[in-house]
Amino acid sequence: MLIALAAVYGCKIDDILDIEDRRALPTADLQVLQRQASKPQERTSAPEQPTAPPQPEPDSVLAAAAESAAWAQWAETTNVGDIALEQLSVDVQTLAHEYLAGDAVQVFQRTRLLRDRVFALLEGHQPPRQATELYVSAGYLCGLLAWMSSDLGNLRAADTHGRTAWLCAENAGHDDLRAWVCSTRSKVALWEGRLRDAVNHARRGAHVNARGSVGALLACQEADAWSMLGAATEAEAALTRALQARDSTGPDEIGGLFSCPDARQENYAAAVHLRIGKPAKALREAESALTLLATQPVRPYGTEAQIRISQAAALHSGGQPEGVMEALGPVLAMPGERRMGPVTQRMRELGAAMTRSPSADAGVIASVRRTIEEWCLDSARQHLALSSGDGPT
């Protein structure tokens, strides 16, 4: 090997050995090297000719081509087909629509199973285009789980789903999904009492170039948070932006929970105007929302309940206590498993407002308050805790 290296570098063997190297070499090897060094160096009078670069053997060229072909074959393989991707998108849309009027716990479990399927597919191999579509489906599913978890009373779990949904939106580079995830995270922050975070999430989503009705919903959510902070001017400005966004609304990619029809927007406006001390305006918006809701093919029971609570609160604030029970009738008739977190919270707010009322000792008001307190004891969260199924995770 030393002889070969000396030939490659064009030097003497002594040039690549030092004293320590010689001490380490066996005696037989040293004798070979001495004989080699004593040989006369061959000289030639012919000038050195530049050596041509080595040419690959024909077999090497063919082998390299085969390697490229093998990689292309691997890159072309996928664990999911276009038809399956289309079906996943349809399934996501179905769940988003069914949650509005179906059994919340059952829809939650089906959403969780579908999310697990999509996660498993993403752990396999597919071309980038298909991986992007899988990330979009995974993001919407995690967004659904976040919304449902908050409705079922587990805000910490909801926040976790929201962060994962945002990661999926970023990996997919999908602006519509980014905006809806911001809406979901704003909702979770609001009910967790992080009102400034709720405003920031809503504003972040509003700066995304998204299509559909999400712009109107984000502005409504910002107004909702401002009203809870007591910032009436900011709340009104956000509601104005919601109306402007409604005029430029296009079709929603998913729909259902991920949409903001006019009735949902009026529901937000009524709640905001109640908090900033405009009960007459809130009453008109609540009644308009109920009229709009009657024209929808699917009537989301959660939204309808909140609208009727706003109607009852506006009647109470406007000095019409006799209309409160009539407005609350359909809400009080809701089965316990449909009494989601936002609805029970709104009912508690109504009860607290009645307690602070100058006429709080009046017979009608006292009766309504007691009814509300008893009603809130039987909620979806209690039903979930008592069921044998898994909780919202």
Q: What is the per-residue pLDDT across 165-206, written as a single tens digit (0 to 9) for each?
A: 999 999 999 999 999 999 999 999 999 999 999 999 999 999
Q: Is residue 96 domain-shared with residue 200, that is, in the same domain?
A: yes
Q: Is residue 176 domain-shared with residue 289, that is, in the same domain?
A: no
In 242-271, which positions are buried (b, 16+ CB within 10 angstroms) versus exposed (e)?
beebbeebeebbbebbbbbbbbbbbbbbbb
Write the single-letter amino acid at 325.
M
Which of 73, 140, 86 has its CA nearest to residue 111? 140
Question: How far is it, in rounded angstroms, from Cα 95 to Cα 117?
Answer: 15
Question: For residue 323, which phi and psi values (nearest 5 degrees)?
Answer: -90, -5
3-class SS of residue 258: strand
Residue 42 lies in a domain: no
What's the total number of domains in the chain?
Answer: 2
Full residue range of the structural domain in which residue 296 is found: 285-393
Residue 258 bridge partners (DSSP):
255
For residues 251 and 358, the model is more confident at 251
Q: Is residue 301 domain-shared with residue 206, that is, in the same domain?
A: no
Q: In this structure, are residues 211 and 176 in contact, taking their beta carbons and an 8 Å threshold?
A: yes
- Of 214, 233, 248, the residue that ends a domain is 214
Of the pLDDT bands very low, low, confident and very high (cuts 50, 70, 90), residue 387 is low
Answer whether residue 236 shows pLDDT above 80.
yes
User: What does the pLDDT average to over 274-287?
Assistant: 95
Residue 353 lies in a domain: yes
Residue 44 lies in a domain: no
Q: In this structure, are residues 101 and 301 in contact, taking their beta carbons and an 8 Å threshold?
A: yes
Write the single-letter amino acid at 274.
L
Answer whether residue 41 shows pLDDT above 60.
no
Write the single-letter amino acid at 203.
R
Please state whether the predicted TM-score (pTM) of the whole model is above 0.85. Answer: no
Write the single-letter amino acid at 272.
V
CA distances from residue 10 to 32, 34, 120 in whole angstroms, order as listed: 19, 18, 59
CATH of the domain at 187: 1.25.40.10
Residue 116 lies in a domain: yes
Q: Is residue 178 domain-shared with residue 95, that is, in the same domain?
A: yes
Residue 79 lies in a domain: no
For residues 42 and 245, the model is more confident at 245
> Environment class of residue 335 by beta-carbon count within 10 Å: exposed (0-12), middle (13-18) or buried (19+)?
exposed
Q: How far is CA 266 from the centre of its chain?
A: 25
Question: How far is it, in rounded angstroms, from Cα 380 to Cα 301?
Answer: 13
pLDDT at 44: 43
* Tokens encoding 205: 């989503």
Residue 249 lies in a domain: no
User: What does the pLDDT average to over 146-155?
Assistant: 93
Question: For residue 332, which phi and psi values (nearest 5 degrees)?
Answer: -65, -25
- Of 214, 236, 268, the residue that ends a domain is 214
Of the pLDDT bands very low, low, confident and very high (cuts 50, 70, 90), residue 43 is very low
Residue 174 lies in a domain: yes
Question: How far is it, in rounded angstroms, from Cα 348 to Cα 60?
Answer: 78
Answer whether residue 384 shows pLDDT above 90.
no
- Of 214, 242, 277, the residue that ends a domain is 214
Please name the residues in contact with 357: beta carbons below 8 A apart, sequence gap of 6 or more: 316, 365
Q: Is residue 201 domain-shared with residue 109, that is, in the same domain?
A: yes
